[in-house]
Homo-oligomer: A and B are copies of this chain.
Amino acid sequence: MRLSAVLLNCTLKTSPEVSNTQALMDHVVNHLEDLDVACESIRIVDYNVPFGVSSDEGDGDEWPQILEKIIAGDILIIGTPIWFGVRSSVCQLVIERLDGTYNSTNEVGQYPLYNTVAGVVVTGNEDGAHDAASTTLFNLSHLGCTIPPNADTYWLGDAGPGPSFIEADGWSSAYTQKTASWMSHNVVHLARMLKEHPIPPEGNTVPMKHGG
């Protein structure tokens, strides 16, 4: 069965402005498609996604349709720029909105993101990739995702302000190329495994809520 991936770009910039984070995400998409994964990239700020911690904040909230895709996918990749050494406000907003999934379960009683495999893509002028990646992967593990080995790829320039990923030709970095490939392969390896052998609903289920 073919795997599918949803990639959320948490840039601050709306389309059609060029996103450096998307540029690195596109390389990940190339890898995933080579591994026969159907990919969809979503730029969060192009949608009406208000602040909140529920799965539907009403009033034209477009998060529900994004969430549906996330839950249907086998792989979830979150891409974020770094601002002030940490992940973007949009990335934090996405994680906050995922809080709503704690109120429902999959058909066997686990959190909805069980059996989803997660990875992270980070770009910045400098410094902050470990913090952005570790906070985000940890949050996703709390939400039910499985984190494979080497589940992050990033590009950064050296200390201080400087050119961004595209302008700096960040893809020429051997480290970024290697980690983009490793992450892509490992999310696929684990997603295949979990597709064939889902995590048993033993010792990790929650009491169903009314209509949950």
Q: Which of A60-68, A70-78, A173-181 lies at the interface?
A: A173-181
Q: Does A7 lie at the interface of the complex (its beta carbon under 8 Å from any beta carbon of B)?
A: no
CB <8 Å contact, B138 and A130: yes
CB <8 Å contact, A96 and B84: yes
CB-nearest residue of chain B relative to A98? B84
So how many copies of this chain end up in the complex?
Answer: 4
Compute how far the CA of A128 lies from the CA of B154 in the bound complex, rounded to whole angstroms. 13
CB <8 Å contact, A159 and B184: no
Indicate the size class of the contact surface on chain A.
Answer: 35 or more
Q: Does A108 lie at the interface of the complex (its beta carbon under 8 Å from any beta carbon of B)?
A: no
Taking A202-B185, A202-B189 as contacts, is the C-beta distance between A149 and B156 under 8 angstroms? no
Q: Which of A96-144 contact B (CB under 8 A)?
A: 96, 99, 110-111, 113-114, 126-131, 133-135, 137-139, 141-144
Q: Does A16 lie at the interface of the complex (its beta carbon under 8 Å from any beta carbon of B)?
A: no
CB <8 Å contact, B138 and A144: no
CB <8 Å contact, B89 and A93: yes
Q: Which of A143-174 contact B (CB under 8 A)?
A: 143-152, 154-161, 170, 173-174
For A204, give its contact among B99, B150, B176 (CB under 8 Å): B150
Q: Does A41 lie at the interface of the complex (its beta carbon under 8 Å from any beta carbon of B)?
A: no
30 A-B pairs with C-beta separation under 8 A: A83-B99, A84-B135, A84-B142, A85-B134, A86-B86, A86-B130, A86-B135, A89-B92, A127-B154, A128-B130, A130-B131, A134-B134, A134-B137, A141-B149, A141-B152, A142-B150, A143-B149, A146-B149, A155-B159, A156-B156, A157-B158, A159-B170, A160-B175, A182-B203, A182-B204, A185-B203, A186-B203, A189-B200, A190-B199, A193-B193
Q: Can you name 12 extra interface pairs (CB under 8 A) apart from A133-B138, A161-B175?
A: A87-B92, A89-B93, A89-B96, A127-B130, A129-B159, A131-B131, A137-B147, A146-B149, A181-B203, A189-B202, A190-B199, A193-B193
